[in-house]
Amino acid sequence: MATTIKHLFFALTLSFCHFSSYGQQTKIDSLKNVLKTTKEDTTRINILNDLAFEFENNNSDTAIVLSTQALLIAQKKKWQKGEGISFHRLGALNYHKANYPLALDYYFKALKIRESLNDKNGISGTIGNIGLVYYSQGEYSQALDYYFKALKMMEKIGDIKGIAVVLGNIGLVYFKRGDYPKALDHYFRALKMTKKMGEKNGTANHLGKIGVVYKAQGDYLKALDYYSKALKMEEELGNKNGIARHLGNIGVAYHEQGNYPKALDYYFKALKIDEELGNKSGIARHLGSIGVAYYQQGNHPKAFDYFFKVLKMAKELGNKSLQANTLGNIGESYIRSKRFKQAEKFLQKALALSTEINELDLIKVHQNNLSNLYTQTNQPTKAFEHYKKYIEARDSIFNEENTKKIVRSEMNFDFEKKEAVANAEHKSEMEKQNAIAEEKSKKQKIIIFSIIAGLLLVIVFSGFIFRSLRITRKQKQIIEIKNKETEEQKQIIEEKNKDITDSITYAKRIQRAMLPHRRDIWAALPNSFVLFKPKDIVSGDFYFFHKNNNSVFIASADCTGHGVPGAFMSMIGSERLTDAVQESSNTSEILSLLNKGIKTSLKQSENENSTRDGMDIALCSVDTDKRVVKYAGANRPIWIIRNGLNEVEEIKATKKAIGGFTEDDQHFDTHEIKLQQGDTFYISTDGYADTFGGQEKKKLMTKRFKEILLEIQYKPMKEQGQHLDNVIENWKAGTEQVDDILVIGIRL
């Protein structure tokens, strides 16, 4: 057996050496030369395992043969430490080949030996890797159990690098379970440690993971920021695995925003790199992303082709999370293709597997898809049950407390960074002050010696000299006191400004958390966009979304004021509108209930001291199957552009606001609009048309706004939203935005 392994080792080494980089090949050649000359068995075992490590990524079969050869020598010589090293290396090699049962077998053998030797470093590393195998199999509870055991040991022995790795792995498990605050908390802790060590590989890895959490929360700008930082660092390191991973993540961020061509470009770049590396997990992930992009573009044959390829790979890899995700994608595609029996079969499998591994984000998606399926197949009881479970899963992920925790995690990390910088600056300032003081001391000595010499030479001028010195010192003291007072006042103002800005920024996160998630809007209304551009950090405009059986409610609202006062109004308005939609499905009655709710909340009456704040709103109830829109408005109209026509049809609102001076029993008219396939409608606040800009710094105006909408009718809806954003930014061209901007467009 030993002879066979030896022959296979040299054959494989010669066959695959061209995969190695020049630097790596030099190291391999050096190790092979030492192996030929050394006769000492412990040295041979270490060199064989070192060679296995070098071949791990490029040729895992060769690496396995090398470590097996090392193991045989160690067993023959009864060198337990060498056996432990070889078993651990074989566990890692089989993990990379996705042979998880064999990897666990080798790791547990390594653990047993290392425990008998009381090798604490080896024990903690092996326990952490066992957790990694369980994670890859979707066994999250067992993974967490082993990760925390490893973390406890690493903290005892002071293994900083290992602690950072395990913290990141724990964060990943919490992310998979939908516990985003805990995930971010562990990622930021890991990031802080890798930055402190100057460990760029770990830093890039954690930056990417933080980006993934923000992407899952729908904060795509922040996600792209972290992904780009991670990608740049991986490119500097030349780490192809990391480059492929972050390219794929950037693709997902663009995908979620509806930019499918750009997403596919990043997916294919990532796929090419992982195919070169032979990274099966990465290949499967990118193939799945490509399939979803084709599905979103309506290319179902291509989407199915990619989905079934991924499903096969996921089963081979034993990756339950990827299997559950792919089963759900196939089920959703069958719904779109009206093949409902197949859809139900795949979605039920997806839900069962997601529940088994407790992956909350996937459970949420599958529950929503099952609700849609049963709605379309006229099974309202089942549809309602699954919709309730979808809401429960969604709310457990996107609740206000979670958002607060996430903000706190980031603020703690930012504060610690700033504190470190401040300490460094303080130290530098102290050194500078000491140098100045020393210099002053030297000068004062010179002055004193000069005075003494002057006194000896010209005693008659002593009184004049002392008098001048006293005046100078007094003036200096006055100046120093004034400078100190000025600096203290400046510091107080800066701190107050920072506190105010931090508080408002925190309020923004809470306000954004209360807005509907755009993925939910796109799931119900795929051909739509929401352009939302607050004037200040927080906004007086808000958009509203609610799904009720076949009807979808969507609204754009403009509250009195903007900034902090407007934000308070928007949060009150959103809450009262939610209450009204739960009481009634009639748009006219909903606005009447909203009017009463606002007046009650703000205690508005005929008393001249009561507030007169309120809102303008356009509310639509959309029946997507029948293509019927029921619209009611308070001072905000609805615009309709029929497919093939070059004109904007406007239905005016009731000329009354919500709240303020409006009567308690105010009626708001409902208009029923029958639309055809390809027709588009828009609702908005007045911010877009009222934006100042252009060469003459005038308002854009409603007429020009309508003309722009007619010009872009040929574009898909998400591209329309992007175009409107570009137009208004170019129009402002440095001019201050005077109001919040909100535009919603929907094509049926």
For 74-113, how does the pLDDT look when each residue is reduced to its tens digit (9 = 90+)?
Answer: 777 788 887 888 888 888 888 877 788 888 888 898 889 8
Per mean pLDDT, which range of 490-499, 516-525, 632-641 is the poorest? 490-499
User: Looking at the predicted structure, is the pLDDT value of residue 458 above 70?
Assistant: no
Question: How far is residue 167's CA from residue 199's CA, in Å, rounded to a whole number?
Answer: 15
Average pLDDT for the chain: 78
Query: Fold for domain 1-118?
Result: 1.25.40
The alpha-helical segments, DSSP class H, found in 217-339 are 220-237, 240-256, 260-277, 280-296, 300-317, 320-336
Partners of 683 in the β-ladder: 744
Question: How far is residue 131's CA from residue 145's CA, in Å, rounded to a whole number?
Answer: 7
Q: What are the pLDDT digits (tens) for 578-612?
A: 888 888 889 999 999 999 888 887 777 655 445 66
**Contact call for residues 258 and 522 (beta carbons, < 8 A):** yes
Give the 3-state secondary structure of residue 585: coil
Question: How far is residue 526's CA from residue 528's CA, in Å, rounded to a whole number?
Answer: 6
Q: Which residue has the tokens 């119900």?
A: 524
Which residue in 233, 487, 507, 523 sits closest to 372, CA to CA? 523
Using DSSP bridges, classify how beta strands 628-634 and 670-674 pair: parallel, antiparallel or unpaired: antiparallel
Expressed in angstroms, the distance from the first to the final Cα of the chain is 69
Question: How far is residue 706's CA from residue 650's CA, in Å, rounded to a whole number?
Answer: 10
Q: Which own/partner contact pairs does 304-308 have at CB distance under 8 Å and 24+ positions apart?
A: 304/330, 304/333, 307/333
| pLDDT average, residue stretch 207-231 | 86
Measured in residues, the chain has a length of 748
How big is the CA angle at 365 (ends 360 and 368), to the nearest 5 degrees? Answer: 120
Q: What is the residue extent of each domain of the chain?
A: 1-118, 401-512, 516-747
Entry pTM:
0.44
Q: Which own/partner contact pairs does 24-27 have at CB distance under 8 Å and 24+ positions apart?
A: 24/54, 27/54
Confidence tier at 746 by pLDDT (50, 70, 90): very high
Q: Is the dihedral of CA 482, 485, 487, 493 positive or negative?
A: negative
Q: What are the pLDDT digits (tens) for 681-734?
A: 999 998 898 888 888 778 888 999 999 999 999 889 999 999 999 999 888 887
Question: How far is residue 284's CA from residue 312's CA, in Å, rounded to a whole number?
Answer: 9
CATH 3.60.40.10 holds for 516-747: yes
Using DSSP bridges, classify how beta strands 638-641 and 541-548 pair: parallel, antiparallel or unpaired: unpaired
Q: What is the DSSP string of 407-431?
A: HHHHHHHHHHHHHHHHHHHHHHHHH
